[in-house]
């Protein structure tokens, strides 16, 4: 026998035991997005590598070291598994001319791929839910995004998440700051690590995002972009802050928050927690007014954010928040020539009434079937033998509480199970 093959490192199976919490999360998320009038967009997992290079930037962790990029063996095209969702969303919006006469509020969800070192909260295939609002220039949309995420934490029952906020300013402000930052880092070449040296002229703001502890002191003492902001940038940031206050949202301004991706301007934010160790950012985003133009569309302002589903699920676990019960109402145990067709009929009636019923398959004694009923997690075992079939009734045995076995008709059974639900 050959050795069994394993899943790829950093790419996880979501086993049946865990899927109820994914499904619960997804259903809360769908209702929440509908409540804000957002529409789902689904794009392919694979795109041209050039899209991510153009959108995310050549000199970024994602494009330099994390992207699953490959050549299509059949036609030589340069392709990549999507490392994030914004680029493809914007690509689709441009391709299908969705901004022709209306702005768009969109969302997406699904797996993303980054070749990172796997650890708790950091995987090579992970899942994001993302939101993009395209065609909106004002601070009100930045705040809608923050307010709606705060509402999602409430809907999920999460409390240990706090908001960090910063502004990257207009492109003019950033350009001025960039010059000042390069001068600051250039003055201390011995303190720069390899990444920083490489990024010094191509993407100096990204040095502020470095996770290298040896760089932290240098980064802490660096000049601040907040001191280089022009009037428009200040007005936008003030607009964001006053609307946040009006909505009762607490935040901390973090001048070191620059985000990993190149395309942001003005508002950037992260929702962070100290309950997950090093991987504490559960949601991140901001404004990216230049991206649509940068990848070939008619320029339009936009902003968005994405959350890491695995990290949020870990936080739900950490907080001890239980997933709603997904066990079937009934497991139907049956034996006998008359019993079996009656059992199928009862199962169908329950399902038509909106109740979940598992019909035993595979035969076996009542005793062995009862074991399966117990293991299924069902609330009741319905026992159907030829006697029950002849009388047209069902024996009902509660599996999760100490109560007497009872007899009832199919109609009574449905009423009883519905009342319990
Ligand atoms: P980090 O600084 O943790 O690497 P990032 O800035 O690369 O995060 P984004 O590209 O902003 O992350 O993605 C948004 C969110 O997706 C993150 O805040 C995080 O919750 C989640 N995320 C990103 N990369 C991973 C990963 N490899 N595994 C699991 N979740 C991830
Ligand atoms: Mg990253």
Q: What is the pTM of this model?
A: 0.92
Determine the atom of ligand 1 nearest the C-alpha atom of 62. Answer: 7
Band (227; pLDDT cuts 50, 70, 90): confident
For residue 342, CA distances in Å to 346, 349, 359 come to 6, 11, 11
* Mutational pocket test of ligand 1: of 308, 310, 311, the residue with most ligand atoms within 8 Å of the beta carbon: 308
272 Cβ contact partners less than 8 Å away, ≥ 6 residues apart: 161, 162, 164, 280, 281, 282
Distance 368 CA to ligand 2 centre (A): 51
- Ligand 2 center to residue 330 CA distance, Å? 45
Q: How far apart are the first and last CA of the chain?
A: 48
| H/E run at residue 395 | strand 394-398
Which residues have C-beta atoms less than 6 Å from ligand 1? 84, 114, 116, 121-123, 126, 128, 260, 279, 281-284, 306-308, 310-311
Please, which residues have CB within 8 angstroms of residue 27's CB and are 6 or more apart in sequence?
none
CA separation for the pair 252, 212 (Å, rounded): 23
Answer whether 68's CB lies under 8 Å from 113's CB. yes
Q: How far is the CA of 308 from the centre of ligand 1 (A)?
A: 6
CA distance 350 to 365: 24
Identify the nearest ligand to the CA of 281 by its number: 1
CA distance 321 to 24: 11
Ligand nearest to the backbone CA of 271: 1
pLDDT of residue 101: 87
Q: What is the pLDDT of residues 237-257, one digit of tens each?
A: 999 999 999 999 999 999 888
**Please, what is the average pLDDT of the chain?**
94
* Mean local confidence (pLDDT), 349-369: 97
pLDDT digits (tens, 9 = 90+) for 56-100: 988 788 998 999 999 999 999 999 999 999 999 999 999 999 999
Of all ligands present, the nearest one to the C-alpha of 114 is 1
Question: Percentage of the chain with pLDDT > 90?
Answer: 83
What's the 260 CA to ligand 2 centre distance in angstroms?
Answer: 7
pLDDT of 105 > 70? The answer is yes
**Distance from Cα 395 to the centre of ligand 1, integer Å:** 53
């Amino acid at each position: 026998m050959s050795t069994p093959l394993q899943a790829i490192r950093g790419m996880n199976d979501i086993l049946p035991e865990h899927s109820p919490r994914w499904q619960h999360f997804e259903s809360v998320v769908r209702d929440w997005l509908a409540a804000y009038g957002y529409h789902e967009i689904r794009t392919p997992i694979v795109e041209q590598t050039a899209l991510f290079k153009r959108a995310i930037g050549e000199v970024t962790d994602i494009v330099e070291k994390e992207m699953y990029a490959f050549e299509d063996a059949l036609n030589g095209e340069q392709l990549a598994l999507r490392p994030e969702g914004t680029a493809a969303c914007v690509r689709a919006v441009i391709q299908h001319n969705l901004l022709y006469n209306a702005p768009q509020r969109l969302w997406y969800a699904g797996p993303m791929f980054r070749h990172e070192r796997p650890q708790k909260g950091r995987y090579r295939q992970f899942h994001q839910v993302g939101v993009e609002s395209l065609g909106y220039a004002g601070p009100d949309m930045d705040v809608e995004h923050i307010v709606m995420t705060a509402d999602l934490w409430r809907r999920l029952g999460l409390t240990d998440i706090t908001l960090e906020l910063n502004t990257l300013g207009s492109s003019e402000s950033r350009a001025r700051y960039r010059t000042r930052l390069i001068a600051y880092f250039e003055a201390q070449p011995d303190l720069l690590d390899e990444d920083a040296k490489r990024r010094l002229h191509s993407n100096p703001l990204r040095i502020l995002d470095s996770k290298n502890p040896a760089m932290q002191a240098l980064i802490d003492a660096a000049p601040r972009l907040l001191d280089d902001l022009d009037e428009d940038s200040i007005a936008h940031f003030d607009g964001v802050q006053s609307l946040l206050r009006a909505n009762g949202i607490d935040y901390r301004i973090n001048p070191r928050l620059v985000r990993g991706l190149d395309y942001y301007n003005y508002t950037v934010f992260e929702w962070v927690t100290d309950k997950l160790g090093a991987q504490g950012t559960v949601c991140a985003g901001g404004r990216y007014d230049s991206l649509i133009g940068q990848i070939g569309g008619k320029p339009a302002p936009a902003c968005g954010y994405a959350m890491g589903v695995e990290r949020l699920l870990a936080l739900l676990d950490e907080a001890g928040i239980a997933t709603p019960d997904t066990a079937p109402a009934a497991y139907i145990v049956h034996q006998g020539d008359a019993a079996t067709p009656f059992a199928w009929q009862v199962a169908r009636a329950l399902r038509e009434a909106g109740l979940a019923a598992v019909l035993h398959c595979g035969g076996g004694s009542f005793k062995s079937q009862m074991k399966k009923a117990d293991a299924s997690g069902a609330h009741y075992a319905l026992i159907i033998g030829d006697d029950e079939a002849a009388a047209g009734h069902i024996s009902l045995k509660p599996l999760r509480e100490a109560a007497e076995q009872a007899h009832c008709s199919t109609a009574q059974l449905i009423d009883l199970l519905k009342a319990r639900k």
